[in-house]
Structure 1
Amino acid sequence: MPQPELISSDPCTAEVIWHGPHGDVDAAVRAATAAKTDWARRPLGDRIAIAQTFRDTVRQRADDFAVLIAKETGKPHWETKTEVASVAGKVDISIAAQAERAGTREGSVQDIRQVLRHKPHGVLGVLGPYNFPAHLPNGHIVPALLAGNTVVFKPSELTPAVAEFMAGCWRDAGLPDGVLTVVQGDGAVGKALAGHPALDGLLFTGSANTASALARQYADTPHKILALEAGGNNPLIVWDVEDLDAAASIVVQSAYLSSGQRCTCARRLIVDEGQADALIERIAALIDRIIVGAPFDEPQPFMGPVIDNRAADRLEAGAAAIVAAGGRALRPMTRPDRERPFLTPALIDVTGLSLPDEELFGPLLKIERVPDFDTAMEVANNTRFGLSAGLVGGTLALYDAFWAGSRAGVVNWNRPTTGAASNAPFGGIGLSGNHRPSAYYAADYCAWPVASLEQDTPGGEIATGLRD
């Protein structure tokens, strides 16, 4: 039975942005398989040149690209401009990472050459998320292509238009047919791609639940690379702060940037009970000033909607469950228009409550008051996740203790938890990932190392253990 047409709509207006059929996974993988040998044999310089042309193409089309992302996700236009810049910037960073982490190394011992080279896996699948529909999958695609892999990209079913636009930039940059193929579809299509027998590995960014399902799906295929980048129930500790206004600003940016739809957003605010009331007063004052609006509104909003009405429904239900369990809504989550997924930022005091360890992917921050820093660290680490963590305030000695004791792959001090550099590794532990960080370290999982001992002529003798 044919599947219904895939439709993507503007979350702010319900205008249809893109529509089309679900993709054919078998055909996409066949195309990638047919192209993989020629692409892998191309000189690295040729692959770099195409990637650089892609970079330049993205920059030339930056305005249209940013407008499309804003329409399909609802993110503020100012924010989608930065996403497009990150897509272009990823190319030079990946070229440097390829040379440093997956390049050729040569040495010698007693006239024997020791050479380290890297080979591509072959055909890699990329599953992308909706929150950064260009930047995050691009963070897998660029290093995978540079390493000589071909790629089948299944974007989120909520952001198919952005994927098609980005693939068009690659095509117009001269990427050969079959080297990057977009296959559109829902979760069933993603599962079919992940399990395709001709796939040599999968690079994933998305929810922890899906990451766990993929890990189970790959349990019987240890020969296939699996890189999982998932979310987090991220803690932010505010301790011994002199400038409470600055601290409040960092908290708000950590919790509510991108409408809370960043995997690094702070979900749990842990504060010294002696400073809690004064800090909360400042956070609440900032929340009350936050503009929630459509991407092209003037003045520009701080937050747009969440991705769709289903996501808004889940977040409202999650906030209501916390309040029903005893949470005190210092700023409740509201939905001004029941037909659209605009939500106001929520701040809920959950001190003393035992709540599920889950990621609520939206503008919802839980606050917990604690009596001492040891308790703060205990609460911060009381999660199965381990993506990001932050400390605001304290001395260098306190930060050193926080860094040493925290369980996260991104650890910041006096900066928002959402801050991460593209020229550094990015990833987490626990349910947040499987120790294959992306960003600068994506080169590590896009190629495999081959260590060689080499001589121009046969040599060697058996010196011990033979009869005369």
Structure 2
Amino acid sequence: MKQDGKLFIDGSWTDGQGAPLTSTNPANGEPIWQGAQASEAQLESALAAAHSAFGSWRRLSVEERFAIIERYAAIAKERQEEMAKLISDEMGKALWDARTEAGAIAGKAAISIEAYHERTPTRNEGAIRLTHRPHGVMVVIGPFNFPGHLPNGHIIPALIAGNTIVFKPSEITPAVAQAMVGWWEEAGLPPGVINLVQGGAAEAGQLIEDKRTRGVLFTGGVKAGLAIHRTLAGHPDKILALELGGNNPLIAWDVADAESAATVIARSAFITSGQRCTCARRLIVPHGAAGDRIIDAVASLISRLAVDRPDADPQPFIGPVVHSKAADAILKAQEELLFHGGEAVRPSLRLDQGSAYVTPGLIDTTRCREVRDEEVFGPLLQVFRTKTFDDAIAKANDTRFGLSAGLLSDDEQLWHRFADQIDAGIVNWNRQTTGASGKAPFGGPGLSGNHRPAGYYAADYCAWPMASMVQEGALNDDAAMPGLVK
């Protein structure tokens, strides 16, 4: 069912006054959300509303803020299936996959409340009193691949800390954002504390550059993240939290069960049609028969992976990518690898000309003359063969990114070497690279970002510490002052 697109500013729903905007179901091309982007005046109104609401929101006790957030979580849990269907329709995830995201939205509140208690308690240590203060107006910019869970992971800890929000979701997935903000209204969040605007890069730029914005919380591609970073150069007064993805390596070495390893590899590379920032992009195996067995097992498994409508019965492992242009980009990246000497073990193919359905691909790039260090955001896995395990780790670390990495091996000593030498924020042994805990830091070094959205670490960037030095008793001026003439 098509949703009537709205903005939410200062507690009221209103039509956008900017350029028309429509989101469509990538599985069938039908419209999901139809409305308009925010005009410059509406962006200004959203910032003004958040700025005005900040004083009263921050002065509420944290228990009062918790109560609203817990009501929101209860609504999210009650509407979990409804949200899963909307995510699946708008973004193209298989329904089983969308259900995990909908569940994570509901579960984020308890994790964030626990993290707040862990990170930001008031402490008294003699004459020093430590408290934490909110920054002010925070701009949250969300991605399309987890349109609910990822912005939700910024919004909840920011609200707990006492900040107010202007939320600009991906222009590809406005309907999910509108539903979530409706839950905040239903939970009793005061007017102006969260404001929803729609738009693209230009609208985001106006929000980021405004002097009332005290922080920008962004999850998305490296190109957009670097543009935000450049915009805020010279603004140490604005907190910037970036999670930008990765070119993630997965090493398979000394593995007896090639079929089991292939299952983990496929889950790592192709879940959510390869549209997770933690998906494995590079499979590294040994030269010779051991590597051949792994590659053959992966190729065999790929041939049996169902690619179908997200609501098909039985459920497919892979649905469409988010739109046909994304499919074009995946196939173009594959074409470039083949041009430079890559070998198609199993090529990625478009199922219907012009559609967003592409099959998972496996390209041996060992002999490629050139392989760009870029994140191909889709179901395309590159294979590299190396002679030694040390070479495998060097290849894994040969990237500007550092988000996720994994090792599949029966040898525990190899795991210890891997964990000690790998440059990644999330490391995995004998499990898929896409797993993450809401309580653990999420992110990595290099172009994968800076702050770590999740748990304690999100609470950390949503507030700043204040150290109060207190002199007990009457004012004391007895301290000696060298050089003072009496």
Same fold (TM over 0.5): yes
Q: 1:451: Cα distance to partner?
A: 1.0
Corresponding residue to 2:239 among 187, 211, 225:
225
- Equivalent residue number for residue 411 of structure 1: 427
Q: 1:464: Cα distance to partner?
A: 5.9
- Equivalent residue number for residue 430 of structure 1: 446
Task: Give the AA of the match of 2:92.
Answer: G
Q: 1:339: Cα distance to partner?
A: 3.0
Corresponding residue to 2:466 among 417, 439, 450:
450
- Equivalent residue number for residue 80 of structure 1: 98
CA–CA distance in 2 between the matches of 1:280 and 1:148? Answer: 51
Q: Is the aligned partner of 1:356 residue 2:372?
A: yes
CA–CA distance in 1 between the matches of 2:202 and 2:326? Answer: 19
Q: 1:395: Cα distance to partner?
A: 2.6
Q: Is the aligned partner of 1:461 residue 2:478?
A: yes
- Equivalent residue number for residue 20 of structure 1: 35
Task: Give the AA of the match of 2:389.
Answer: F
Q: Is the aligned partner of 1:96 residue 2:131?
A: no
CA–CA distance in 1 between the matches of 2:335 and 2:120? Answer: 49
Q: 1:455: Cα distance to partner?
A: 3.4
Equivalent pairs counted in the alignment come to 462
**Residues 83-92 or 273-282, more deviating:** 273-282
- Equivalent residue number for residue 270 of structure 2: 256
CA–CA distance in 2 between the matches of 1:291 and 1:460? Answer: 79
The DSSP-based 3-state class of the residue aligned with 1:431 is helix
Q: Tell me if structure 1 keeps the 8 A contact 2:342–2:367.
A: no
**Tell me, which stretches of 5 or more residues in structure 1 are unaligned?**
none
- Equivalent residue number for residue 55 of structure 2: 37
Corresponding residue to 1:323 among 314, 338, 354:
338
Q: 1:58: Cα distance to partner?
A: 0.5
CA–CA distance in 2 between the matches of 1:3 and 1:181? Answer: 16
**Residues 296-305 or 20-29, more deviating:** 20-29
Q: 1:463: Cα distance to partner?
A: 3.5
Deviations 1:135-188 (A, max 9, x none): 000000000000000000000000000000000011100101110111101121
Q: 1:67: Cα distance to partner?
A: 0.7
CA–CA distance in 2 between the matches of 1:372 and 1:210? Answer: 37
CA–CA distance in 1 between the matches of 2:481 and 2:33? Answer: 73
**Residues 178-187 or 393-402, more deviating:** 393-402
The DSSP-based 3-state class of the residue aligned with 1:425 is coil
CA–CA distance in 2 between the matches of 1:424 and 1:192? Answer: 32
CA RMSD of aligned residues (A): 1.2
- Equivalent residue number for residue 156 of structure 2: 142
- Equivalent residue number for residue 208 of structure 1: 222
- Equivalent residue number for residue 125 of structure 1: 139
CA–CA distance in 2 between the matches of 1:460 and 1:10? Answer: 72
CA–CA distance in 2 between the matches of 1:17 and 1:172? Answer: 22
**Tell me, which stretches of 5 or more residues in structure 2 are unaligned?**
1-16
Q: 1:405: Cα distance to partner?
A: 1.0
TM-score by length of 2: 0.93
Segments ≥4 residues shifted beyond 2 Å: 394-397, 455-461, 463-468
- Equivalent residue number for residue 287 of structure 1: 302
Task: Give the AA of the match of 1:386.
Answer: G
The DSSP-based 3-state class of the residue aligned with 2:66 is helix
Corresponding residue to 1:338 among 348, 353, 359:
353
Deviations 1:354-411 (A, max 9, x none): 3111010000000011110111011111100111111110433221211121111111
TM-score by length of 1: 0.97
Deviations 1:269-302 (A, max 9, x none): 0001131111111111110111111111001010
**Residues 128-137 or 324-333, more deviating:** 324-333
Q: 1:467: Cα distance to partner?
A: 5.7
- Equivalent residue number for residue 199 of structure 1: 213
CA–CA distance in 1 between the matches of 2:287 and 2:224? Answer: 37
CA–CA distance in 2 between the matches of 1:381 and 1:372? Answer: 14
